[in-house]
């Protein structure tokens, strides 16, 4: 798939087929992680790939039942847990950069998965302490995201309406509207 097609096609899926994932696809998805930028190139993140049914069920038990992503987590053949050692990235001006590393890494995974015909759903709300205990993750490691990985159920996931460029991009200064005069030229003029 072309890059912009992948970006446009990706959407969170909350329902999965039980079909297993081909190893070469898993490999390529994980390889995409190795190309991600990270704080000082420290690569402080780690991702756990879980495909054991009992473990997946236990992880799903750490997600609140009211969370719309919980069911998909149980259905998917693989669950990924994105972790990081905060000591491997600095905190400056109250910004903890390991969170950025994990966010970028998640996006690499989610786009790579999409280009392989697979689906994901970032889950940010879960009982971190319990998941750490289930997966025997050391105390110093933080868990940033969990995501199911698998083939989307046809019914699963609808494309959300996003903000337009003019809602999220300003020109030169804060709140200054950006419009495209020509395709190749940024300006505030119509
Ligand atoms: C930091 C973060 C945390 C999220 N946590 C959850 C979650 O706990 N449960 C859930 O169903 N979706 C979660 N999502 C997915 C968002 O709801 C989803 O990305 C958003 O609605 C846009 O839809 P789309 O991914 O299909 O474009 C999370 C996304 C992000 C980036």
**Helix H or strand E segment including 168:** helix 165-168
CA dist 123 and 114 (Å) reads 17
Domains of the chain by range and CATH? 3-156 (3.40.109.10), 160-190 (no CATH)
**Residues 149-184: tens digit of each pLDDT:** 999 997 766 777 888 888 899 999 999 998 877 655
Q: Residue 76's closest CA among 129, 121, 24?
A: 121
**Which pLDDT score is estimated for 3?**
96
**Which pLDDT score is estimated for 156?**
61
Q: Decide: 59 and 146 in contact? Cβ < 8 Å.
A: yes
**Residues 17-48: tens digit of each pLDDT:** 999 999 999 999 999 999 999 999 999 999 99
**Shortest-distance Cα residue to atom 3 of ligand 1:** 124
**Residues 75-99: tens digit of each pLDDT:** 999 999 999 999 999 999 999 999 9
Spacing, Cα 122 to ligand 1 middle (Å):
5
Q: Which of 122, 126, 156 to mutate to test the pocket of ligand 1 (most atoms within 8 A of CB)?
A: 122
**Shortest-distance Cα residue to atom 9 of ligand 1:** 123
Prediction pTM value: 0.93
> For 164, what's the count of Cα atoms within 13 Å in the CB-facing half-sphere?
5
First-residue to last-residue Cα distance in the chain: 34
**Shortest-distance Cα residue to atom 15 of ligand 1:** 122
pLDDT-derived band at 189 (thresholds 50, 70, 90) equals: low
Mean pLDDT of 96-118: 98
Spacing, Cα 64 to ligand 1 middle (Å):
14
């Amino acid at each position: 798939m072309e890059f912009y097609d992948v970006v446009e096609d990706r959407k969170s899926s909350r329902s999965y087929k039980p079909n297993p994932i081909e190893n070469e696809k898993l490999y390529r998805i994980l390889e995409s992680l190795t190309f991600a930028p990270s704080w000082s190139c420290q690569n402080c993140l780690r991702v756990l790939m879980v495909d054991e049914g009992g473990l997946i069920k236990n992880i799903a038990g750490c997600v609140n039942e009211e969370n719309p992503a919980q069911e998909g987590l149980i259905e998917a053949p693989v669950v990924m847990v994105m972790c990081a050692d905060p000591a491997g990235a600095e905190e400056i001006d109250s910004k903890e950069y390991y969170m950025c590393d994990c966010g970028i890494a998640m996006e690499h995974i989610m786009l790579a998965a999409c280009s392989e015909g697979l689906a994901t759903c970032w889950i940010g709300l879960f009982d971190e302490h319990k998941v750490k205990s289930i997966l025997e993750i050391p105390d110093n490691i933080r868990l940033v995201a969990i995501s199911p990985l698998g083939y989307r159920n046809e019914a699963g996931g609808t494309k959300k309406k996003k903000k337009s460029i003019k809602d999220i991009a300003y020109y030169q200064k804060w709140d200054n509207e950006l419009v495209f005069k020509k395709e190749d030229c940024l300006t505030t003029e119509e």
